[in-house]
Amino acid sequence: MQPMFDERLWLEWLVKVRVIVLTFLLGIELAVSRFTSTPLAVRAFVTSMVLWYAIALFYVLLLSFWREYRAQSALQVLTDLLLATLLVQVSGGVDSSLNFLYPLIIIVACILLPKLWAYLSAALAFLLYGTIVELNYFGVLPSYGSGRLDWKALQAIVFINLFGYVTVAYLAARLVSKLRQTGVALEDTSGALEDLRALHENIIQSISGGIITTALDGHITLLNSAGERLLEQTEAELLGKPIGDLFLDPLPHVTMERAHGEVRYKTGQGFGKTFRVIVSSLSVPDRGLLGYVYSLDDLTVIRRLEREVRTQDRLAAVGRLAAAIAHEIRNPLTSIAGSVQMLEAISSLSQEQRALVEIVTRESERLNHIITDFLDYCRNRQYKFDRIDLVPLLEDTLTLLEHRLLAEERNIVIRRQFPPQTVWVFADGDKLKQVFWNFSENAVRAMANGGSLTISIEELGDEWQISFADTGPGMTAQQREKIFEPFQSEFEGGTGLGLAIVYQIVQAHGGKVWARSQPGQGTTFVLRLHQAGDADRALSSQSAVVSSASSASGRGAHA
């Protein structure tokens, strides 16, 4: 059976209690001897008490370096029995009032030592007490008592004490045994409770979905590990905060047992997420409703894919429409343009008529340019992939842009944030230049009154992230939603096909492209491309021709 108590702690307790008991005994006995006529060998009593104090101090020191606590317990019990016998002798023998010390020592033996020691200490107490009183009776030891009992009375006292010692030993042993059994049962129950608690905590922490619990007032009381990853915040940061303040949309309200809905969330880095939230009541039998449980599932990728599918459908429909009408329009447009040129050669045209002919010529050219963009958007592009460094491509594009801005006297500053190492990708350099130029052109148009354009490159795992951040007026959520669709240009004279073509090029490269923007906070176009790996280096010596039709399965835009 496991011990219910820590033996060292009980030995420390015994030393303290021993000192307290001795102090009270000393004070009481001295007071009684002073104010009554009871005979007491004061000098012998005080000497015995000092001896006991000294032994108690020795036990304190012994406890600090001797680790055999069971042996120390037996030694202290035996020493206490001997010293208690000494005090009984000097305080009157059979007339002594200190024989109550024996039952106390027997109880201590029951606590610190096995059950057998309870009866051994009781027997030893009987022998010591009986020996003292009988030696006093026969005059072998000096008696400090006030009178002399007859033999029968003496024997009665001795055997009454024997019965008392044995009774105390029996009752104390039974009580301590019950306490130890109860202690073991309590430890087992506590262990089972801890295991159950650990199991429940592990279950909650192992759930792949986010779990948040709140009190009735809506303040957060628990957040599991998955919830920390989804919200990108720790449990310590959110405990005690209102759950409603976390999300951009109102949470579903529990009308019956549970409710569900979708809410938007913005991370500390400014990225948006979409969560499906299921809220349930947290009830305990006999205690009623205690709070609410919110489970979170990340729908960000699913909603993004849905938007991509819708975008793909719209692009495909527009592409088919453009391919169908472009050729039908170009033929009569060519005839119109030729006829207008012949009319322009007529010398008899008035100034007003010549102005009208110029308008027709100019608009025909513009319409032809739009149709050319249509055809460029719809035709299957040919890509020549190779292992290239992005930094020189960006430098070429930005150098051209800077010369143009200087010639036009535009108050726009271009900032470069490129890594010191080379940025290798497996791509078509000319097509990527077209992507970079479209991003730069849109940024310049957005900053009509000047500003800054920051181009940065970051390494994210096995991808490169290229960002074009302007300080223009920004876009609304509706504009971001349709930014890569054709005919969505916000600029005067634009066809809205530039970013749609960018979208196709990025898809063909297996990359990702999206826009981050808020009204009044500028716009950032983000492009991610895979880094050139070992397999790409093996192909760097030869060119691969890939059509955009075969790359439709690439990853698309992020709204």
| Assigned domain for 366 exists | yes
Determine which helix (DSSP H) or strand (DSSP E) holds 539, and give its type and residue range. Answer: helix 534-539
Backbone φ, ψ for residue 463 (5° rounding): -125, 155
Q: Are 288 and 312 contained in the same domain?
A: no
Per-residue pLDDT reduced to its tens digit, 10-28: 777 777 777 777 777 777 7
Whether 198 maps to a domain, the answer reads no
Residue 112 lies in a domain: yes
494 in the same domain as 357: no
What is the average pLDDT value for the chain, to the nearest integer? 78
Which among 458, 505, 499, 464 has a CA at the least distance from the CA of 480? Answer: 499
Cα-flanking dihedrals φ and ψ of residue 558, to 5°?
-110, 120
Are 452 and 500 in contact by the 8 Å Cβ rule? The answer is: no
Question: Are residues 394 and 415 located together in one domain of the fold?
Answer: yes
Span 257-271, average pLDDT: 82
Tokens of 463: 């991808």
* Among candidate residues 222, 308, 218, 227, the one with its CA nearest the CA of residue 265: 227
Gap between the Cα atoms of 349 and 361, Å rounded: 15
**Are 175 and 321 found together in one domain?**
no
Do 321 and 289 fall into the same domain? no
- pLDDT the model gives residue 495: 57
Question: Which residues of 394-518 form beta strands (DSSP E)?
Answer: 412-417, 424-427, 451-460, 463-470, 512-517
Q: Does residue 392 sit in the same domain as residue 518?
A: yes
Quick check: 502 and 438 in contact, CB under 8 A? Answer: yes
Pick from 220-229, 308-317, 367-376 the range whose average pLDDT is largest.
220-229
Which of 24-33, 51-60, 370-379, 392-401 is least confident? 370-379
**Boundaries of domain holding 156:** 7-188
Residue after which a domain boundary falls, among 298, 326, 345? 298
- Position of tokens 């149709």? 371
Looking at the structure, do residues 282 and 331 belong to the same domain, yes or no?
Answer: no
* Cα 382 to Cα 399: distance, rounded to the nearest angstrom: 26
Domain end residue (candidates: 244, 264, 298): 298
Angstrom CA distances, 60 to 16, 78, 87, 110, 154, stand at: 9, 16, 22, 21, 38
* Residue at 194 is within a domain: no
In a domain, 193, yes or no: no
- 62-67 long-range Cβ contacts below 8 angstroms, 24+ apart: 63/8, 63/11, 63/12, 63/15
Q: Among 378, 400, 425, give the residue marking a domain's end.
A: 378
Per-residue pLDDT at 353 exceeds 50: yes
Read off the pTM.
0.43
Q: Measured between alpha carbons, how far is residue 113 from residues 4, 19, 269, 304, 445 in Å?
A: 12, 21, 65, 73, 92
Cβ within 8 Å of residue 149, ≥6 positions away: 94, 137, 157
**pLDDT higher than 80, residue 359:** no
**Mean pLDDT lowest among 353-357, 427-431, 520-524:** 353-357
Strands 557-558 and 512-517: parallel
Of 504, 465, 499, which Cα lies nearest the Cα of 482?
A: 499
d(CA 524, CA 136): 107
Radius of gyration of the chain (CA): 48
Tokens linked to 553: 């399965």
Q: Which helix (H) or strand (E) holds 294?
A: strand 288-298
Indicate the number of domains in the chain: 4
More confident residue, 308 or 553: 308
Same domain for 543 and 406: yes
Amino acid at the residue 240:
G
pLDDT digits (tens, 9 = 90+) for 47-86: 888 888 888 888 778 777 777 878 888 888 888 888 888 8
Q: Looking at beta carbons, which pairs linking 68-73 to residues 24 or more positions away fall under 8 Å?
A: 69/7, 69/8, 69/11, 70/7, 70/113, 72/11, 73/7, 73/10, 73/11, 73/109, 73/112, 73/113
Q: Are residues 48 and 126 in the same domain?
A: yes
Q: Which of 161, 179, 176 is nearest to 122 (CA)?
A: 161
Residue 235 CA to residue 241 CA, distance in Å, equals 10
Residue 203 in any domain: the answer is: no
If asked whether residues 459 and 341 sit together in one domain, one would say: no
User: Is 443 contained in some domain?
Assistant: yes
Q: Tens of pLDDT along 464-479?
A: 999 999 998 888 887 8
- Are 233 and 246 in contact by the 8 Å Cβ rule? The answer is no
Q: Which residue has the higher pLDDT, 155 or 443?
A: 443
CB atoms near residue 65 (< 10 Å): 6
Does some domain include residue 2?
no
Do 477 and 549 lie in a common domain? yes
Q: Are 76 and 51 part of one and the same domain?
A: yes
